[in-house]
């Protein structure tokens, strides 16, 4: 059964050890620590010579099973599950950055990621070098000997900008710099990050994977394809561990020291969510495309942004990277901020909530919420408009969704 497909592998990843009761669901190992038979066994485990569990900040069988399933379906070298998408992003950046380093990135970033780069890492002397990642010449000019990563979101939220990943990865390789991508908006059975040169993939598993927004989580997926020999932080582990250098640094140092491992309860819920992700995504993304098409010809909607629409400037690039259904999120512009607030207040079915890819459809006015803490000038720099509504499309019937949007626009 070596040739099983994604959906099948997702459900039938074997357990590392057989459960004594033959439980069909992975039990939740609700424990902080694990007992050893001898001092010698303890020594070998603590020195990393065996993979026995010792303490649940470092590994836990339930969380490891969730990681194993994602490894099985992505073919990655390693997967680390953390307790939020932001924890995943900060663990990755703390593994590669250092005082005096810079991260070449776009100003089009998830709000907290922007703040992490600019404020939190900025305070430690790491420069966030914002530029236009859709312009490879500009990126080439901004990368230098102290660039520790090119970081981007594969479809930016909420601008829905798409950069050419293969050309960014090539610029990275020429300069010994990894391409690190937040791929939260397109699930990994649709978008194969490693094929586009992404070295480290980050996913907020709060979104598609959790299955109905049950819990917060994040994943670090190391594709094991990058040559870390020119990385200031990783050249030493690279001499010893080769392509495994990032994972060794992360698992033996950063992840233990920051202490943000996923809890077993969350891993249980998200393992279950993962099982149904492909079917939920298929439905949500198809409804999203249909709503994008219908909103395009709806009165009072000034513009619809979804990279799966042939009229979208990123359509061809998006199709070549993500296929026909680039996620289940769209945005649209109304006449003004006031029109957006009126629309939001008239919604009856669509929920006024942040978050993405819940089973329920969610609407938000990003400028006044996610980006509410930024100045108008900063918002302009990030292309956050007061006229934009973001819609995360759920599993409701598309006709019911359109009817609600239509009446709220009326
Ligand atoms: C939600 C989100 C995050 C943050 O994830 P959390 O699980 O909320 O910490 C990061 N990036 C993108 C693109 C997101 O949508």
Cα 282 to ligand 1 centre (Å) = 21
Residue ID of nearest Cα to ligand 1 atom 8: 85
Query: Of the residues 207, 354, 392, which should be mutated to test ligand 1's pocket, given the most ligand atoms within 8 Å of the CB?
Result: 207
In ligand 1, which atom is closest to the CA atom of 185?
Answer: 13
Query: Of the residues 84, 85, 326, 357, which should be mutated to test ligand 1's pocket, given the most ligand atoms within 8 Å of the CB?
Result: 85
In ligand 1, which atom is closest to the CA atom of 207?
Answer: 1
Ligand 1 interacting residues, C-beta cut-off 6 A? 84-86, 110, 113, 153, 157, 182, 184-185, 204, 206-207, 216, 218, 356
Distance (Å, rounded) from C-alpha 93 to C-alpha 75?
23
Residue ID of nearest Cα to ligand 1 atom 11: 110
Contact assessment for residue 157 and residue 329, using Cβ atoms and an 8 Å cutoff? yes
> How many Cα atoms sit within 13 Å of 386 on the Cβ side?
11
Cα 70 to ligand 1 centre (Å) = 18
Cα 3 to ligand 1 centre (Å) = 33
Quickly tell me which residue has 């996610």 as its tokens: 370
Q: How many residues belong to the chain?
A: 410
Cα 355 to ligand 1 centre (Å) = 8
The per-residue pLDDT for 173 is 97
Residue ID of nearest Cα to ligand 1 atom 5: 85
Residue ID of nearest Cα to ligand 1 atom 1: 204
**What predicted TM-score, i.e. pTM, was given to this entire model?**
0.96
Mark 314-342 as b/e (b = at least 16 C-beta within 10 Å): bbebbbebbeebbbbbbbbbbeeeebbee
Query: Of the residues 84, 161, 184, which should be mutated to test ligand 1's pocket, given the most ligand atoms within 8 Å of the CB?
Result: 184
Cα 204 to ligand 1 centre (Å) = 5
Cα 85 to ligand 1 centre (Å) = 5
Cα 66 to ligand 1 centre (Å) = 19
Cα 373 to ligand 1 centre (Å) = 17
The per-residue pLDDT for 2 is 62
Residue ID of nearest Cα to ligand 1 atom 7: 85
The per-residue pLDDT for 340 is 98
Cα 116 to ligand 1 centre (Å) = 12
Digits of tens for pLDDT over the chain (410 positions)? Answer: 567 888 888 899 889 888 999 999 999 999 999 999 999 999 998 887 888 999 999 999 999 999 999 999 999 999 999 999 999 999 999 999 999 999 999 999 998 999 999 999 999 999 999 999 999 999 999 999 999 999 999 999 899 999 999 999 999 999 999 999 999 999 999 999 999 999 999 999 999 999 889 999 999 999 999 999 999 999 999 999 999 999 999 999 999 999 999 999 999 999 999 999 999 999 999 999 999 999 999 999 999 999 999 999 999 999 999 999 999 999 999 999 999 999 999 999 999 999 999 999 999 999 999 999 889 999 998 899 999 999 999 999 999 999 999 999 99
The per-residue pLDDT for 7 is 87
CB atoms within 10 A of CB 389: 27
The per-residue pLDDT for 226 is 97
Distance (Å, rounded) from C-alpha 102 to C-alpha 125?
9
Query: Of the residues 108, 161, 206, which should be mutated to test ligand 1's pocket, given the most ligand atoms within 8 Å of the CB?
Result: 206
Cα 367 to ligand 1 centre (Å) = 17
CB atoms within 10 A of CB 345: 9
Q: What is the DSSP string of 111-137?
A: HHHHHIIIIITGGGT-EEEE--TT-HH
Q: Residues with Cβ < 8 Å from 124, sequence gap 6 or more? A: 97, 99
Quickly tell me which residue has 């200031």 as its tokens: 232
The H or E element spanning position 249 is: helix 245-249
Cα 353 to ligand 1 centre (Å) = 14
């Amino acid at each position: 059964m070596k040739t099983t497909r994604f959906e099948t592998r997702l459900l039938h990843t074997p357990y590392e050890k057989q459960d004594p009761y033959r439980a069909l669901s992975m039990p939740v190992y609700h424990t902080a620590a694990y007992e050893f038979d001898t001092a010698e066994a303890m020594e070998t485990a603590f020195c990393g010579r065996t993979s026995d569990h010792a303490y649940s900040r470092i590994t836990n069988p339930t969380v490891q099973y969730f990681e194993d399933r994602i490894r099985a379906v992505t073919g990655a070298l390693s997967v680390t599950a953390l307790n939020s998408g932001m924890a995943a992003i900060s663990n990755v950046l703390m593994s590669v950055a250092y005082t005096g380093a810079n991260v070449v990135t776009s100003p089009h970033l998830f709000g907290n990621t922007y703040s992490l780069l600019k404020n939190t890492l900025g305070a430690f002397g790491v420069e966030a070098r914002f530029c236009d990642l859709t312009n490879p010449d500009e990126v080439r000019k901004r990368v230098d000997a102290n660039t520790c990563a090119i970081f981007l979101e594969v479809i930016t939220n909420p601008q829905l900008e798409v950069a050419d990943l293969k050309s960014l990865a090539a610029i990275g390789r020429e300069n010994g710099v990894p391409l690190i991508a937040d791929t939260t908006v397109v699930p990994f059975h649709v978008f194969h990050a490693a094929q586009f040169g992404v070295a480290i993939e980050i996913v907020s598993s709060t979104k598609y994977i959790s299955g109905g927004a049950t819990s917060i989580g994040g994943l670090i997926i190391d594709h094991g394809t990058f040559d870390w020999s020119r990385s200031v932080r990783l050249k030493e582990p690279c001499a010893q561990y080769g392509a495994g250098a990032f994972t060794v640094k992360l698992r033996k140092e950063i992840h233990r020291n920051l202490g943000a491992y996923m809890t077993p309860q969350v891993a249980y819920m998200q393992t279950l969510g993962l099982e149904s992700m492909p079917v939920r995504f298929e439905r949500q993304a198809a409804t999203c495309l249909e709503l994008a098409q219908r909103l395009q010809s709806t009165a009072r909607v000034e513009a619809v942004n979804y990279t799966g629409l042939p009229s979208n400037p990123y359509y061809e690039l998006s199709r070549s990277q993500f296929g026909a259904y680039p996620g289940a999120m769209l945005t649209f512009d109304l006449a003004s901020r006031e029109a957006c607030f009126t629309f939001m207040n008239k919604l009856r079915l669509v929920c006024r909530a942040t978050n993405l890819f819940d089973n329920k459809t969610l609407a938000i006015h990003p400028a006044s919420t996610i980006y509410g803490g930024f100045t108008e000038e900063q918002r302009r720099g990030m292309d956050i408009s007061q006229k934009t509504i973001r819609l995360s499309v759920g599993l409701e019937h598309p006709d019911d969704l359109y009817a609600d949007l239509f009446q709220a626009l009326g």
